[in-house]
Amino acid sequence: SLAIAADQLILAGQLLDVRSGELRANQAILVQEQRIEQVLPARQLTSEQRALPTLDLSNYTVLPGLLDMHVHLTSNPQQHGLRRLNATPARQAIFGVTAAEVTLQAGFTTVRNVGASGFADVDLRNAIDEGEIVGPRMRVAGHSICITGGHCDNNFLPHTYAARSFGVANSPDEVRTRVRQNMKYGANLIKFTATGGVLSRNTDVNASQFSLAEMQALVAEAHDRGAKVAAHAHGLHGMKRAIEAGVDSIEHASFLNDEVLAMVAERGTYLVMDIYVSDFILGEGEAAGILPESLEKERQVGQLQRENFRRAVAAGVNMAYGTDAGVYTHGQNARQFAYMVDWGMTPLQAIQSATLHAATLLDWRNEQGQLNVGLLEPGAYADLVAVAGNPLQNIRLLEAIPVVVKGGQQVK
């Protein structure tokens, strides 16, 4: 048989195939230059392959490194509300160094950073990719795009300060300009806000932001440049408008209804529903500086979002894992798995949302067209986690992952 080039061997006691849900015993992963070359039963290894430098995980269940589609690594969850005014982009980038490391240590080997100021997320990603600091692979949005006074704008100060977020845009042309600027400075993903939000001051979660024409211009511009579009939306009308405009994912999706489920089913739009974070906001948010008006909004959003998550699972629409870590404590990204199981997913579905499905939403591929992340298959980066036990029986094993490998290198 023809020898397969490999520089490293990883042995797995059990390996979870996230496509089929099958757990296969005694598998071997051959790694070449950080990528998976082949996955095969360990008994089929040649003696040369057995002699490769080996990471022995034969006492563990191995699964792909996890993906979180909604984080803000540069956001300090202890500095909400007015405290946020102290956070310069440089300070946020410094904070993000530690946030990136704990996120990776928690088993999340790839994240989408859906909004940061001052392109701190671009610099964070570049520092990670260049090996200066340790963190997950990042897809980054740069500045979130929104209307004047919208969810991404700075609404804390009176007009005399002329405070305005970089991502503000107020016409189809301005929206196109913002997309182009974001990508010029290193974004590879576009995020905009289609409704008000919980944590922004003086915005209504039910009120739409941007016209259909603006959203269509944004999506066309992003897609022309090969970037996916993530739309923040709690309210029904803004959500429907964003889906109609052709976004790739709806973030939060709190007040979805059957019409929304039919629309996303037809178009293949992903829902990224952050159903854990409400516990933090209502439990620890006040101490972290969250404004009373935001706490009040969260009381209207949190429970309904969970109920609607259950409806979305029952409808069988595309769903990807996203937590909004950064609003809450970095490194606790996996806490949402158990909530997803409580609200209607099987453990396998929850794991698929954070691996196969998230990777399909990202659609980040190598030169051969294979997915780079989210799977343990040839062509993907050798990003994986290992747990002692069966996560299909106990999903909470993912909350304390003992072994994390990124690009074939053990980082925990």
Residues that bind ligand ARG (CB under 6 A): 197-199, 252, 274, 277-278, 281, 298, 301-302, 305, 324, 327
User: Toward ligand ARG, which CB reaches closer, 225 or 310?
Assistant: 310
Cβ-based nearer residue to ligand ARG, 263 or 277 = 277
Report in angstroms how near the CB of residue 327 gets to ligand ARG at its nearest. Answer: 5
Name the DSSP letter for residue 90: H
Shortest distance, position 343 Cβ to ligand ARG, whole Å: 12
4 neighbors 52 (Cβ within 8 angstroms) = no
Are 191 and 145 contacting, i.e. CB atoms less than 8 angstroms apart? Answer: yes
Least gap, CB of 350 to ligand ARG (angstroms) = 17
**Cα–Cα nearest to 352, from 40, 11, 63:** 63
Number of H helices, E strands in the chain: 12, 14
Burial 395-411 (b: 16+ CB within 10 A, else e): bebbbebebbbbebeeb
Q: How far is the CB of 195 from ligand ARG (least distance, A)?
A: 8
Smallest gap from residue 311 Cβ to ligand ARG (A):
15
Sheet strands (E) in 311-394: 384-387
Give me the least distance between CB of 282 and ligand ARG, in Å please.
Answer: 9
What is the C-alpha separation between 406 and 412, in angstroms, rounded? Answer: 9
> Which contacts qualify for 228-231: CB closer than 8 Å, 24 or more apart?
228/189, 228/190, 228/361, 228/362, 228/363, 229/189, 229/190, 229/191, 229/192, 230/69, 230/70, 230/112, 230/114, 230/141, 230/189, 230/190, 230/191, 230/192, 230/272, 231/191, 231/192, 231/193, 231/194
In this complex, which beta carbon is closest to ligand ARG, that of residue 308 or of residue 352? 308
Task: Choose between 233 and 382: whose C-beta lies nearer to ligand ARG.
Answer: 233
**How far is 131 from 306, CA to CA, in rounded Å?**
39
Minimum separation from the CB atom of position 278 to ligand ARG (A): 4
Q: Confirm if 294 and 277 have CB atoms less than 8 A apart.
A: no
Tell me how far, at minimum, the Cβ of 273 lies from ligand ARG, in Å.
Answer: 7
Nearer to ligand ARG, 15 or 114 (CB): 114
Give the H/E segment covering residue 405.
strand 403-406
For ligand ARG, the closer CB: 64 or 196:
196
**Identity of the residue, 110 or 305, whose beta carbon is nearer to ligand ARG in the bound complex:** 305
CB-based closest residue to ligand ARG: 197
Cβ nearer to ligand ARG, comparing 55 with 277: 277
Q: What's the DSSP call for residue 84?
A: G
